[in-house]
Amino acid sequence: MSNKTADRVATAVFYFFAFLIILILAGLIGFILYRGLSHISFDFLTSAPQTFKAGGGIGPQLFNSLFLLVLTMIITVPLGIGAGIYMAEYARPGRFTDFIRLVVEVLSSFPSIVVGLFGLLVFVNYFGLKFSLLAGALALTVFNLPLMVRITEQGIRGVPREQKEAGLALGLTRWKTIVKIMLPVALPTILTGTILAAGRVFGEAAALLFTAGMSSPRLDFTDWNPFSPVSPLNPLRPAETLAVHIWKINSEGIAPDAAQIAAGASAVLILTVLLFNLGSRWLGRYLYRKLTASR
């Protein structure tokens, strides 16, 4: 077989597998949306679920997922960016730095169920947070922190060396050079990674079963006191998220329309995660073009 023939065969094989993966993904997403889109309405997105009768919605679960997302990113983003900057600019090659990289890699490969059990042991039991949004946010921080650290480190290392040296040559301190020159250049990469991490948080279920809980109190959306047990803004209350709700309905649901509720909730979850991913790509490209045009 000649080199050209071998190249064509290899190219055809790669295209075949790429098309097969796209076909499987499109079929899976299409099937979920086909089953669930007809059940989505404003009332479905805002009303509370029903245990025994038909007509329930996913309002509290959707709010819990969004609130948990905000809490998690408030904790994850500063820690991830700070650790990424340290690894890219301050960490010296050696055993300690290699150990940190090893820990980050090990954490990134942990199954989410293991992170959930860790959160149950440490945050729920040892620190006494019980089943709560805060315990779930801390567990998901452990889950997402390696991703944020690696993305920030790669973004900082991707800044052209000449720009860094120009800032130092102008008399800027090392920290000023990072804040004023390197972080703005790395911002598209960091923002893209942040949005992707947010999408992972929104779709996570296994870790939250053991930390945020599988039930929610009846929320009073007129009570905005974060210390009230029925306030939606109370981070110390248990909170069933959308992904956990889907699992619970499919396994334990006894309402007459449990299958339809699960299908609609799955469609909402898929659409939200797709929006996160598409939004991250669009935002990254937009910021890159804007940054390139301003140079």
pTM of the complete model: 0.86
Q: Is residue 3 part of a domain?
A: no
Q: What tokens does 236 get?
A: 């110390």
> 40, 267 in Cβ contact below 8 A?
yes
Res 23: pLDDT: 94
Q: Is residue 274 part of a domain?
A: yes
Rounded distance, CA 113 to CA 120, Å? Answer: 10
Site of tokens 């065969």: 9
* Full pLDDT tens readout for the chain, 295 residues: 667 787 788 888 889 999 999 999 899 989 999 988 888 888 888 888 887 887 888 888 999 999 999 999 999 999 999 988 998 888 888 888 888 888 888 887 788 888 889 999 999 999 988 899 999 999 999 888 888 888 898 888 888 888 888 887 877 788 888 888 888 888 888 888 888 788 888 888 888 989 988 888 888 878 788 888 888 889 999 989 999 989 888 888 788 888 888 899 999 999 888 887 787 778 777 776 776 666 5
User: Domain of 234?
Assistant: 40-294
Res 295: pLDDT: 57
Rounded distance, CA 133 to CA 149, Å? Answer: 23
Contacts of residue 186, defined as CB under 8 A and 6 or more positions apart, other chains included, come to: 152, 155, 156, 158, 159
Q: Which of 198, 214, 215 is nearest to 206 (CA)?
A: 214
Rounded distance, CA 61 to CA 133, Å? Answer: 12
Q: Is residue 27 part of a domain?
A: no
Site of tokens 């910021």: 287
User: What are the pLDDT digits (tens) for 56-72?
Assistant: 888 889 999 999 999 99
- Count structural domains, the chain: 1
Cα 9 versus chain centre, distance: 39
Output phi, psi for 125, to 5 deg: -90, -55
Site of tokens 């905000």: 70
Q: Is residue 13 part of a domain?
A: no
Res 184: pLDDT: 83
Q: Which of 204, 81, 40 is nearest to 137 (CA)?
A: 204
Q: Is residue 4 part of a domain?
A: no
Res 161: pLDDT: 83
Q: Residue 107: which CATH number?
A: 1.10.3720.10
Q: Is residue 219 part of a domain?
A: yes
Q: Is residue 217 part of a domain?
A: yes
